[in-house]
Amino acid sequence: MKSKLTTILIALGMSALFSSVVNGSTIEITANDTMQFNSKAFEVKAGEEVTLVFKNLGNLPKAAMGHNVVILNPGTDVPKFGMGAVAAAASEYIPQDEATKAQVVAHTKLLGPGEEDTITFTLPEAGAYPFVCSFPGHFALMQGIITAK
């Protein structure tokens, strides 16, 4: 009787664990020395935690070819953000003024060659969330959209 109850409790615990994994989504993005993300379109569920694994597969030094992923709110002026980020070298090209910071949903660290970073975030509402690499000059090529449904 006692062992049966234990088995049921373990089964319940495992199914709770399993469903939490199923409910979240994981997306993986890589970047390289030719200023490219491997994929530019992702779809996630609004209001659900997303795990982003970002890898820099390049060989060039971070000072010349660093990469990050910066996720912006729907409707953000991406070229304006990208050009403004150039001045934010001290904070790895993430602008620290309040108005610009309010446009940023989440961001990874700036990665050098062979490095990776994992972040989690939630896109609160359905919409098209642009993402860019904010290293100077990269946003024009390195941008995409995460669609939350």
Which chain residues interact with Zn ion by CB under 5 A? 67, 133, 135, 138, 142
* Cβ distance to Zn ion smaller for residue 94 or 148: 94
Contact 82, 31 (CB under 8 A): no
- Least separation in angstroms between residue 87's CB and Zn ion is 16
Q: Least CB distance from residue 90 to Zn ion, whole Å?
A: 18
N-terminal to C-terminal alpha carbon distance within the chain:
46
What's the one-letter identity of residue 64? Answer: A
Write down the least CB distance from residue 134 to Zn ion, Å. 8
Which residue's Cβ has the minimum distance to Zn ion?
133
Pick between residue 81 and residue 135 the one whose CB is nearest to Zn ion.
135
Using only C-alpha atoms, the chain has a radius of gyration, in whole angstroms, of: 19
* Residue 24 · residue 122 · CB < 8 Å: no
- Of 24, 34, 61, nearest in space to 133 by CA: 34
The distance of closest approach from Cβ of residue 116 to Zn ion in the complex, given in angstroms and rounded to an integer, is 14
Select 67 or 107, whichever has its Cβ closest to Zn ion: 67
Query: For 38-108, where are the alpha helices, taking DSSP H only?
Result: 62-65, 78-85, 98-101
Cβ closer to Zn ion: 29 or 142? Answer: 142
